[in-house]
Amino acid sequence: MSSDFTKILLNEDEIPRQWYNIQADLPSPLPPPVGPDGTPIGPDALARVFPMNLIEQEVSTERWIDIPEEVLSILKIWRPSPLYRARRLEAALQTPAKIFYKNEGVSPAGSHKPNTAVPQAWYNKQFGIKHLITETGAGQWGSALSMSCKLVGIDCKVFMVRISFDQKPFRKIMMKTWGADCIASPSDQTEIGRKILAETPDTPGSLAIAISEAIEQAVSYDDTRYALGSVLNHVMLHQTIIGLETRKQFEKVGLYPDIVIGCAGGGSNFAGISFPFLYDKIHGKNIQVIATEPEACPTLTRGPYIYDAGDVAKMTPFLPMHSLGHGFIPPAIHAGGLRYHGMAPLVSHVRQLGLIDATAIGQIECYEAAMLFAHTEGFISAPETSHAIAQTIREAKKAKEEGKEKVILMNWSGHGLMDLQGYDAYLSGKLSDYPLPEELLQRSLAAVKDHPPIR
């Protein structure tokens, strides 16, 4: 390949045929999910919520797991995704660093989320499931799952947080275009929804309520299951196709990253790009891996490592994770996909093991970074993705100060064409930062003091 390339492409037959399971290589094993009394929860307890074939992936310690041919054939609609060299961004920063970004915005739904939505829909169908139910906040996950269910041939229903349902119509229209049933949450279709509507008819809803409604309905029918777009081990597994492709792309140009960066909400796109490189780090490679999160929702940087529930109603088992407390309600920053109180157990664990670093950045710096990116590389980034860009720019500036020719890789997790309100707020000077006040954090953590300790 000539050295002045802009992007590195793989042929379709170079697509990875197996996912990488980091559980095979962890220096110490992941602590199990537990009940409120600290007793480990076995796979069977999850059987009403998820199909057994996905539960098997959730607990597997096999290093490589085959990607089914039918899943690959759908992923090939947009995969392998391109790896770009950000030459114009490098020039603007006058940095000696080489900056690369993996473009996950090329999927039909516009982000990395279909990488797991497709296999989740497919494994559910294999298991004989007819209906998949999920929740969505701003709509990224709901739209990814709607598209995937349509392509696989299974019904999809999405409980969408009321306020987004009313204020962000475009993702809702995408879901309906892909044939999904999208309803505002709280709804009158579930017991918990009816109860909340009776008490507070005007509630804007919340992700926690929507999760409770989705799980309640999913466990009520034999042929129905629930799907989650991040946090769980099998979601991290499906996303490793990102990093596996990236490794092959670097091989083509004889380079290897010194720094790998991803934004982290529930942790899936970060795990996807970084876990295949962490394999090398565990086996002796010197490489820095950084997860970047919002200052307003600083799970990895300020949340303690504890057993906590995945939702407010504590319907999920307790998972070992960095958490701000299951009752934490983050400020309304524009990066909706990063407003989750917990972090994936696998990402939390590799942080505990010292394999990754974490940073938190305010949204103004992130929008400034996204603007520079749009002005140099052209692409308009999702507000979540802008956190990875901001960290990349910090590292590129550091490389300049140190006069080092570092290779920096970031995951460009999605485009922002459905998130233009945030850009509007930035452009009209209405954006502010919300560093999380310590007393708010402490108040939220008071509610998790009685949770069992992680052993």
Q: Which of 325, 210, 310, 208 is nearest to 266 (CA)?
A: 310
Part of the chain binding ligand PLP (CB under 6 A), chosen from 17-25, 262-270, 390-398, 436-444: 262-270
| 442/183 Cα distance (integer angstroms) | 35
User: If binding is defined by CB under 6 A, does position 263 make contact with ligand PLP?
Assistant: yes
Binding pattern for the stretch 401-420 against ligand PLP, x by CB under 6 A and - elsewhere:
------------xx------
Spatial contact of 58 and 83, defined as CB atoms under 8 Å apart: no
In the complex, residue closest to ligand PLP by CB: 414
| 307/36 Cα distance (integer angstroms) | 9
Helix (H/G/I), strand (E/B), else coil: 181: strand
- DSSP codes joined into one string, 370-392: HHHHHHHT-PPBPTTHHHHHHHH
- β-pairing verdict for 259-263 and 224-226: unpaired
| 247/202 Cα distance (integer angstroms) | 50
User: If binding is defined by CB under 6 A, does position 187 make contact with ligand PLP?
Assistant: no
Residues 117-176 interacting with ligand PLP (rule: CB under 6 A): 140
Least distance in Å: CB of 64 to ligand PLP?
22
Spatial contact of 326 and 308, defined as CB atoms under 8 Å apart: yes
Which whole-number Å values give the CA distances from 80 to 11, 83, 102, in the listed order? 7, 9, 10
User: If binding is defined by CB under 6 A, does position 359 make contact with ligand PLP?
Assistant: no
Binding residues for ligand PLP, how many (CB under 6 A)? 19
* Of positions 265, 317, 342, 345, contacts ligand PLP by CB under 6 A: 265
For ligand PLP, the closer of residues 55 and 291 by Cβ is 291
Residues 73-112 interacting with ligand PLP (rule: CB under 6 A): 111
For ligand PLP, the closer of residues 93 and 109 by Cβ is 109
Least distance in Å: CB of 368 to ligand PLP?
18
For ligand PLP, the closer of residues 140 and 316 by Cβ is 140
29 alpha-carbon distance from chain centroid: 22
* Of positions 80, 337, 342, 345, contacts ligand PLP by CB under 6 A: 337
Which amino acid type is present at position 239?
Q
For ligand PLP, the closer of residues 266 and 362 by Cβ is 266
| 38/329 Cα distance (integer angstroms) | 25
Which whole-number Å values give the CA distances from 151 to 114, 121, 424, in the listed order? 11, 9, 34
Residues 370-399 interacting with ligand PLP (rule: CB under 6 A): 382, 384-385
Least distance in Å: CB of 81 to ligand PLP?
13
Part of the chain binding ligand PLP (CB under 6 A), chosen from 29-37, 265-273, 322-330, 348-356: 265-273
Tokens of 448: 């998790």
Q: Which residues bind ligand PLP (CB under 6 A)?
A: 111, 113, 140, 230, 263-270, 337-338, 382, 384-385, 413-414
